[in-house]
Amino acid sequence: MLNIALFLFGIALGVAGIVLASLATWSTTSIIFLISGSISLALGIWLWGKKHQFWQLRSTKQGTSAIAKTAVVLIAVGLINWAGTNYERRWDLSENNVYTLSEQSQTIVAQLKQPLEVLVFDRNTNSELEQLLLNYRRYSDLFQFRFINPEQAIGLAQQFGVQSLGEIYLQYGDQRQKLDVSNAVGEAITETQLTNSMIKIKRDRPTNIYFLQGHGEASLDLVEGGLAQAVKNLEDQGNTVQTLNLASSGKIPDDSNLIVIAGATRQLFAAEVSTLQQYLKAGGSLLLLLSPNLDSGITPILQNWGIELDNRLIVDGKGRGSLMGFGPAVAMVNNYGEHPITASFRNGISLFPEARPLKIIAKAEISSTPLAITDEQTWAESDLSAESITFDSAQDILGPLNVAIASFHTKLKPSRMVVFGSTTFATNGWFEQQLNGDILLNSISWLVGQEQDTLLIRPREATNRRLNLSSRQTSLISWLALRIMPFIALVAGVFMWWSKR
């Protein structure tokens, strides 16, 4: 009789607890009712089983064990879901961490000073794009986004000047900007495109970068040895890139924020060198990309800034690049100086083909820092005509060697200069290798004084792993997945059932 009373009393307490929780919210009273009811119900069942010797039965023990194991699994799953809901933690196991924002994207979102909204004008919600936007919003509540059907919100679409479905706009304060998407139809925007657009709309002033031409410098076009990829990245971030023929113009434009000399193969005129020196004295910035065994006539500038060039070629004596198809003339660097340009690089790799070593000569008014430094397994080779490249202590220089140097004038602020002993590392194809693009773009950001939130490793795009299958291969996979494998599983299940009978 006691067991029945406990059983009924437990049910009553449990129902009372559930009703209290549903009428209001979970409270101490409802939880106490549920716990008391569960204990009373369990005690009633136990007494009933003891009276009828239910617990001594073999089937009961097996059933109880199965129920206990199931309860443990359900509790574990419940705890995992509860923890996932209340304490969000994500692990990105993809090859290039494509589901995790880059350090640069995270920093730019986290440092928003006012709301930034992304408006996507389309009939349907793109799930891939929505996931990307949600990743941004995790780092700041000031980042918001909306999917808007322009055929329903006609007034808003006209206000933004929407011309076709799929257009995306950014709104930051009173600024509006259309996101330039050149992807194939149906493809969502990439993190790189969105982050570059955010950098562009946040800038409070235009940045003008002039590439010197007229002395055999690298072309800005999409050709071998050109700088088109670097230029496109600069323009995507809101920079204005132009060419400058100093010999014909006779002066540096007043709106110039940076002058770039990339791979000059002929000497500059003395008047041009003098103009560049005056530009630096007035607080200008200069980026030099210099190739081995070439004299561009800028030695006076380098001497004033305490930088000495060596005409020898840096070679990798251990041939580490051969595993990736690189020759000994490609210097692999994973050692960087303590400087804002390279602060986020850690042990990442950058590649410097056809590089010459640089040396710092101490000067009181100049502060210089090596950016990229080779290791002890490299040296500066003087004799490239020999059949085999070997280190000659009498003529060659053993590493570590400086490949890039950043300098600023302590008295002529904000006068800055960055010198690379290689031009090839920034050219089309090489620019996208490892950290090559990052070290170049970070250098430019530092030179123009925009290092607050851009001197970080940029987003990496997902590696294309698509498989192009023939119709025969597609048919074979379909048969395996939908017919053969299920049939094998069915046969195995029947066999196991039959063998246990």
Q: Which tens digits make up the pLDDT trace of 113-130?
A: 899 999 999 988 888 899
3-state secondary structure of 380: strand
Strand, coil or helix: 212: strand
Average pLDDT value over all residues in the chain:
84
Residue 19, domain member (yes or no): yes
Strands (E), 11-94: none
305 and 395 assigned to the same domain? yes
In degrees, rounded to 5, the angle at the alpha carbon of residue 392 between the alpha carbons of residues 389 and 393 is 150
Task: For residue 17, give both structure tokens.
Answer: 């607890």
- 230 sits in which H/E element: helix 228-236
Give the CB-side neighbour count of residue 333, counting CA atoms within 13 A: 33
Q: Helix, strand, or coil here: 474?
A: helix
For residue 103, name the pLDDT band (cuts at 50, 70, 90): confident
Count of domains for the chain: 4
Domain boundary among 151, 179, 200: 200
> Does residue 276 share a domain with residue 243?
yes
In a domain, 97, yes or no: no
Instruction: Tell me: do 341 and 421 sit in the same domain.
Output: yes
Buried b (16+ CB within 10 A) or exposed e, 324-348: eebebbbbbbbbbbebebbebbeee
469-496 confidence digits (pLDDT tens): 677 778 888 888 888 888 888 888 888 8
Q: Assess whether 144 and 266 both reside in one domain.
A: no
Q: Please report which helix (H) or strand (E) contains residue 310, including its range.
A: none
Q: Are residues 439 and 500 in the same domain?
A: no
Domain assignment present for 98: no
pLDDT of residue 12: 75
Residue 198 has φ and ψ, to the nearest 5°, of: -65, -40
Is it true that the peptide bond before 400 is cis, omega within 30 degrees of 0? yes
- Say if 463 falls within a structural domain: no
- State how far the Cα of 212 lies from the Cα of 287, in Å rounded to an integer: 10
% of the chain with per-residue pLDDT over 90: 48
Q: How far apart are CA 401 and CA 359, in angstroms?
A: 8
Q: Are residues 296 and 371 in the same domain?
A: yes
**End residue of a domain, out of 60, 86, 112:** 86
b/e per residue 285-306 (b: at least 16 CB within 10 A): bbbbbbbbebebebeebbebbb
Q: Which residues pair with 426 in a beta bridge?
A: none
Per-residue model confidence (pLDDT) at position 457: 67
State which of 175, 200, 225 marks the end of a domain: 200
| Cα 221 versus chain centre, distance | 26
CATH number at residue 293: 3.40.50.880
Does residue 94 sit within a domain? no
pLDDT of 461 reads 59
- 236: in domain: yes
Which DSSP state fits 354? S
Q: How far apart are alpha carbons 83 and 489 in whole angstroms?
A: 35
Q: List the one residue out of 313, 317, 279 whose CA is nearest residue 298.
A: 279
Each residue of 11-61: pLDDT tens digit?
776 677 777 666 666 667 777 777 777 777 677 666 656 666 655 666 666
pLDDT tens column, 202-243: 876 789 999 999 999 999 999 999 999 999 999 988 899 999
Q: Is the pLDDT confidence value at 423 over 80? A: yes
- CATH number of the domain encompassing residue 172: 3.40.30.10
Spatial distance between the Cα atoms of 384 and 61, rounded to a whole number of angstroms: 84
How far apart CA 413 and CA 284 sit, in angstroms, is: 9
Alpha-carbon distance 256 to 249, whole Å? Answer: 14
User: Does the N-terminal peptide bond of residue 414 adopt cis geometry, omega within 30 degrees of 0?
Assistant: yes
**Both tokens of residue 238?**
């809101």
Same domain, 223 and 171: no
Select, from the ranges 147-151, 191-195, 446-450, the one with the highest average predicted confidence (pLDDT).
147-151
Same domain, 210 and 351: yes
95 domain residue, yes or no: no
3-state SS class at 379: strand
| Percent of residues, the chain, with pLDDT higher than 70 | 80
CA R_g for the chain: 34
Q: Provide the β-strand partners of residue 208.
A: 240
Residues 77 and 120 in one domain: no
Q: 63 or 430: which carries more pLDDT confidence?
A: 430
Q: Is residue 462 part of a domain?
A: no
Residues 164 and 284 grouped into a single domain: no
Provide the whole-model pTM: 0.72
Six token digits for residue 261: 């000399």
Q: Which domain holds residue 173?
A: 103-200
Per-residue pLDDT at 184: 47
**Residue ranges with strand state E in 310-460:** 313-316, 330-333, 335-336, 350-353, 358-360, 366-373, 378-381, 397-398, 402-409, 416-420
CA atoms within 13 Å, Cβ hemisphere of 404: 32
Segment 379-399, tens digit of pLDDT: 999 887 766 778 888 889 998
- Whether 195 and 217 share a structural domain: no
Q: Do 333 and 275 share a domain, yes or no? A: yes
